Structure 1
Amino acid sequence: MGNSVAYPVLRTADPAEAYEKARHLRGLLATRYAQVYVGAELRTVEDLRRMVRLIPDAFYDHAGMREDPATGEPLDFDADVRTATDAELAPELPLDFVHTELPDGVDGEDFVRAVGSGPASLQWEGCWPDEPELGSYGSPKYDAVQLVLNSDACDWDRQVTGVHTLYVHVTKWGDPGRAERLAAAIGGAVLGEPEQG
């Protein structure tokens, strides 16, 4: 996708509300790509088990670098999350993953329900419609709707449990007018400075 400009347009404590508003915004894309990019940081064995049931073939790894205390060498996570016991998984947490699509039969709502208290993201890419009368044109490489769960940062690297943030991504250079119009379409407003997407 490259580095888009992302504007926060909604913050709520209700993940279902955030998801519904994201669906509405996704419907406004003139072109919608089939892929849904997802990722999450999983803090408990229960969180991990729920996510593995949804996305079993994702590549799960340590959230952050781990080192061997004796040698200082990086430690890899190589357990099979589908067969490892809870006792084997617990000391490896938190784990994270990024995956390029949801499996058949799994939708974004399933993902939202499976996320625990760690930060997570769903992103739907596409292209906003051209609005030549406003000097605003869609950007197929950069336009998207992103729902960030348990975080107030587009790159979802900061955990804020219970805060769910909805972003609109618009072009590489930003388009504050389009962001304001999209925010208004869901009864929201641009909530602060744009972020790098």
Structure 2
Amino acid sequence: MSNSYAQPILRTGDLSEGLRIVQKLLGIADLTDLEVDFDARISSAHSLSGVMTLLPDADWWAEGERDGASDAGDDPMDSLPIRLRRWAGTPETVEPFLKAVGDSPATVRWDFSAWPDAPEVGLGVGGTRGAFVTLCTHARDLDLEEPAADCTVFVHVKQVEAERAPWLAAQVGLQVIGDLVMAPY
């Protein structure tokens, strides 16, 4: 299994604009087997309460040099700040998740079967490990390490199909705005 590569195509202070671009990208994708993955760094009890109500089976672990993890049966409230992940969720959970995390750094990644043919850049259908869209909020990077007040939309492609990223951006009236980077998962 290899990682996808991601390239930012939109940075905005308007979360609804970020979600609109995600929906436009999903509109050209093969959404067979669509799943949504959630990732957040949570340090407030308020955000944690909302996220755990929405995603009670999420995996989490204490950040830093501290103990505490979901697989040990620990209480996440006693372990703040934590890193939380939930795989294979539903699209209907996205907006409630974003509301619950508040200003905590978070990503939502839509995972689907394939990107369409991109004949203008010599590419056929693009899939397996290279067909994702990620919305990153309150962080500038996919690892959630660089705080930001805005959100960023990333398109994911296979490294050998790097030219697909600018092509995808153009399909929604945008252009790439940063480097192609290996995605963390």
- TM-score of the superposed pair, with normalisation by structure 2: 0.85
Q: What is the number of equivalent residue pairs in this alignment?
A: 178
State the identity as a percent: 30
Partner of 2:121: 134
| Cα-to-partner distance string for 1:62-90 (whole Å, 9 max, x where unaligned) | 12332xxxxxxxx2344335xxxxxxx2x
Secondary structure of 2:8's counterpart equals strand
Distance 1:188 1:134 in 2: 16
Map 1:18-37; keep pairs closer than 5 Å. 18-37=18-37
Distance 2:96 2:170 in 1: 27
Higher strand fraction (1 or 2): 2
Aligned-residue Cα RMSD (Å) equals: 2.1
> Where do 5+ consecutive residues of structure 2 fail to align?
none
Distance 2:59 2:135 in 1: 21
Distance 2:177 2:99 in 1: 25
Map 1:1-197; keep pairs closer than 5 Å. 2-66=2-66, 75-77=67-69, 78-81=73-76, 89=77, 92-102=79-89, 106-126=92-112, 127-132=114-119, 134-137=121-124, 138-160=126-148, 162-176=149-163, 178-197=164-183
Alignment check: 8 A CA contact 2:29 2:115 kept: yes
Alignment check: 8 A CA contact 2:162 2:180 kept: no
Secondary structure of 2:84's counterpart equals strand
Structure index of larger Rg: 1
Distance 1:32 1:151 in 2: 29
1:122 is displaced (CA, Å) by: 0.9
> Where do 5+ consecutive residues of structure 1 fail to align?
67-74, 82-88
Distance 1:186 1:106 in 2: 23
Distance 1:171 1:101 in 2: 21
Secondary structure of 2:116's counterpart equals coil
Distance 1:121 1:115 in 2: 10
